[in-house]
Amino acid sequence: MLRDHFADAVTAVTAEPTHHRDCLVTTWERSLDLLHDRGHPLARPLLRLLSTFAPAPVPCALLDAAVLAGSPVFAGTTPTGLAALVSELAGLGLVEVHHGDLDTVSLHPLVRDITRHHVDDHDPYTDTRLALLHRLATRAADPSGWSLWRALLPHCEHERLAVRSDTAFADLCHSAGGAAYEHGFSTAAERLYRRALRVRLDLLGPRHPDSLATRHNLAVLHADDGDPEAARAEFCAVLADQVAVLGECHPDVLTTRRDLARTAWACGEHAHAEAEYREIEALQREVLGENHPDTLITRYETAAALHDRGDPGATTALRALLHDQVRVLGHHHAHTLITRHRLARACHDDLDQHHVVRLTIAALGPEHPITLTARTSRAVVARGEDAAAELRDVLEVLASRRGPDHPETLASRHNLRVATDDDRPSTSPLGRRRGRIRVVDPVDLPAQRRNPPRS
């Protein structure tokens, strides 16, 4: 009854005069006092913390008791106590908990706005919020964390964070940028990486390993935008600084060399790119071991290069790689699925392409970049109305995430045009340059400093 009455009261006075709002504030302050007397002294601090997030549902997974306990404001927080506290706040109507694929907690706009006035942008609440976001952004970069990432993104980009210019803020932006790119939000990824780089350059300088990591990931974004020459210049600058700071055989140096080889391939320098891949793989076997994920990625790049130029040895290389990836990474790892998709294309195996789509949807979700690529491959082979509908769906997702002029979006639009009007010669530059069907091979960028292979 109290919960329903309070919720109705909040709605009723939202547009009412100030003295009505003051009465309501007094009511919920008394409710918080009641919770304090019931043994929940952290009720008021938790409500204030929630008010500092963006005006969007907050994933319950964000409220990590271990992270909260590290703050002087929330010392002594336990998972059981935190769950009980959220339940008590919901019982009084101060928050609303939504249960589903992803459990979230929300504040009424009036509750948020008034509560937030008690919080300063530089007080411990903001530090705690940064710590919570950074921890969860790293988790959300996992390909399976799609629903979590969609809920987390508005909080990572919230304008109240933009006033920060410390390493904690930069670390959050870098991790969140990786998660954004992993899930196909390249525009958001670039914004977040640029925020991280601004702070890291100012505080750490351009050659600090953290600055180098963000510079590298921005270069990958630019390569993905279809400008390999510009990306090559950025990679070369990053590589020179990495070698000077980290040494020639550091794993990050080898990763950047591999990305430079990718840009060389994109520029038509196929022999040089393949030679680089083989040299990098040999170094990675020596430094990291033959089963290290980075070594497996470089093996994939070599096999993909063989496939792209029509070498029959590609299928043998891909099968051997797939066997090792299943053993090391598992059947449902994103890198394993990329290789399985490439092998199905190399073997012209339509049935296996259907199987790959089912696997990627189950493991990564229907809108993950790897899944979109697999769905495109299946559709351009199948043709027909169902295929056209799938291509339309893929195009809609790419346009919303990558933007209307991104190379992947343009290729997707071309594929749809071909599928729906197959008898008309393509007049688009993309169609003339790349042939009648174009299956884009995405470069997926996770958090931190590593890049999974293009599909």
Q: Please tell me which residue, 351 or 76, carries the higher pLDDT value.
A: 76
- The answer to whether 199 and 162 have CB atoms below 8 angstroms apart is no
94 falls in which pLDDT band (50, 70, 90)?
confident
**pLDDT at position 21:** 52
Cα–Cα distance, 269 to 397 (Å, whole number) = 32
121 falls in which pLDDT band (50, 70, 90)?
low
pLDDT of 156 over the 50 cut? yes
Cα–Cα distance, 275 to 173 (Å, whole number) = 35
Distances (CA, A) of 151 to 13, 131, 420: 29, 17, 35
Percentage above 90 pLDDT, the chain = 46
**pLDDT at position 1:** 40
- The answer to whether 53 and 155 have CB atoms below 8 angstroms apart is yes
Q: Please tell me which residue, 367 or 252, carries the higher pLDDT value.
A: 252
pLDDT of 25 over the 50 cut? yes
- The answer to whether 113 and 52 have CB atoms below 8 angstroms apart is no
Q: Is 127 exposed, middle or buried (0-12, 13-18, 19+ CB in 10 A)?
A: middle
Average pLDDT over residues 65-80: 92
Task: Work out the end-to-end distance of the chain between its first and last CA atoms, rounded to an integer number of angstroms.
Answer: 56
**Main-chain phi, psi angles of 58, to 5 degrees:** -100, 125
Cα–Cα distance, 215 to 165 (Å, whole number) = 17
Q: Could you give the strand order of the β-sheet that contains 96-98, starting from the edge strand earlier in sequence?
A: 58-59, 104-106, 96-98
Distances (CA, A) of 65 to 35, 57, 139, 161: 19, 19, 16, 22
Domains of the chain: 2-119 (1.10.10)
Mean pLDDT taken over the chain = 83
Lowest mean pLDDT among 71-75, 161-165, 179-183: 161-165
Q: Other C-beta atoms within 10 Å of 277: how many?
A: 25
Q: Please tell me which residue, 142 or 80, carries the higher pLDDT value.
A: 80
Q: Is 424 exposed, middle or buried (0-12, 13-18, 19+ CB in 10 A)?
A: exposed
What residues contact residue 455 under an 8 Å CB cut-off, 6+ apart? 338, 341, 342, 370, 373, 374, 441, 442, 444
pLDDT of 455 over the 60 cut? no
What pLDDT digit, counting tens, does each position of 283-316 carry?
A: 999 999 999 999 999 999 999 999 999 999 999 9
Cα–Cα distance, 43 to 73 (Å, whole number) = 11
What pLDDT digit, counting tens, does each position of 209-248 carry?
A: 999 999 999 999 989 888 888 899 999 999 999 999 999 9
**pLDDT at position 120:** 62
- Whole-structure pTM value: 0.81
- The answer to whether 403 and 224 have CB atoms below 8 angstroms apart is no
**pLDDT at position 23:** 54
pLDDT of 348 over the 80 cut? yes
- The answer to whether 293 and 442 have CB atoms below 8 angstroms apart is no
- The answer to whether 412 and 369 have CB atoms below 8 angstroms apart is no
What pLDDT digit, counting tens, does each position of 419-454 carry?
A: 887 544 444 433 333 333 344 444 333 333 444 444
**pLDDT at position 192:** 94
Average pLDDT over residues 196-210: 96
